[in-house]
Each structure stands twice: as C-alpha cells, then as structure tokens.
Amino acid sequence: MRQFSVPQFIEVEDKIFGPLTLKQFIYLLGGGAAAFIIYVLGGMIGLFILGVPILALALALAFYKINGQPFINIASSAISHYTKSKLYIWKRREVKKEDAQKAPAIEQKLVLPKIAGSKLKDLAWSLDVKEKVK
C-alpha cells in the first residue's frame, strides 16, 4: 500500500516575502503607499496627521493578533456588530395602541350541523361536540 504525506500545519500561512506572508506584505505595501502619497500631497504635516494613523493601521492589520485572531477579523466583527440591527429577546417591545387597533377581532361562532338519522347517531354526535367544547 502506498503512503502519502499529509500536511501538518495547514493553518500556518506560507512566508512569501522573507518573513512576511502575502497578506502582511500587501497590508504594509498599501499602508506605505498611502503614507507616501499623503507625504507628497500634504508634506510633513499631512504625514503626521493622516499618514501615521494609516501606518499604524497597516501595522496592526499585518501583525497584531487578539486572542489568536488577526486584527482584520476583529475589526470586521466590530464593524458588523455596530452597524447591524440588534434583536434582544429578553427586552419586550411595547405594543402601540395603533397596532392593537389594526387587528380586527374575529368572532368565532359555533356551527351546528343539522341532526338527521337515528337517535344513536344524534347521541354520539352530541357527546363528541361536548368533549370538543370543553
């Protein structure tokens, strides 16, 4: 029987650019390019005001992990948490009077079929009706 090698560390990303993975390289390249464009357009003041936070974000995206999760996962979860509507089961909504008035009251009438046939059938039917009413 032939033996096949099974990859052991499938959760570890491959290092492509020296000690950096492809994602880390792209984050750092994008942050550096944005900081360079800000420096060219805004000078040193623009670099400190906008470029430093962009570089910090790029470094956080590339290297920072919280509880073993990459920063991009934490940031996307935080954004979706704050933008999506929330449903709290334990908090009751107050029913507005307008909503209660919109629902028409349905009257249920007991429909009795006409009795025909023998006395035994009539008696059986009346017993069934009494059991269902209770």
Please report, for the chain, the start and end positions of each structural domain, with discontinuous segments joined by +.
15-83
From first to last of its 134 residues, what are the pLDDT tens digits of the chain? Answer: 788 888 777 777 777 878 888 899 999 999 999 999 999 998 889 889 999 999 999 999 999 999 989 999 999 999 999 998 888 788 777 766 665 566 666 666 766 655 555 777 777 777 777 666 55
- Asked if 32 and 55 touch (Cβ cutoff 8 Å), the reply is yes
CA distance 116 to 125: 11
Task: Report pTM.
Answer: 0.56
